[in-house]
Amino acid sequence: MKMDLGYGFVAGENRISKQKVCFWMHTDEDITWEAFVWYIADYADIVDYGTDWITVRIVTAKQREFFYSKALQYEESICRNNYEIDKENTLWQSHKKGAERNKDILIRLSSGN
């Protein structure tokens, strides 16, 4: 049995939907999911992602709180533009915070797969 971290999170892998992120942000507006995943890769260990979901590894309540607070700080227009610019070159590999721990995910995002 996995340890409950509260608010629907468990210690280990957590699958989070785009709908849930939008609910947290109190918005009906659509967000660019790939841009969100690109952004959140700086703050969480990503296991996998799809067209409207992400699986992140969170093992403590403190990590859950940090993930949630960073999700709330997502700014669509800024992050979407950053993602569009970053994926056009390889500079992100040496400059992006989450580049080392989420390299495979970021390569998939930058290639559009």
**Domain ranges for the chain:** 4-111
| CB-CB neighbours of 61 under 10 Å | 15
Q: For residue 8, is pLDDT > 90?
A: no
Encoded tokens for 110? 């930058």
The span from the CA of 55 to the CA of 40, in Å, is 11
For residue 24, what pLDDT is reported?
Answer: 92
Phi-psi region of 112 (alpha: psi -120 to 50; beta: other; left: phi over 0): left
Q: For residue 89, is pLDDT > 70?
A: yes
Q: What does 26-77 look like in DSSP terms, one character per residue?
A: T--S---HHHHHHHHTTTSEEEEE-SSEEEEEE-SHHHHHHHHHHHHT--HH
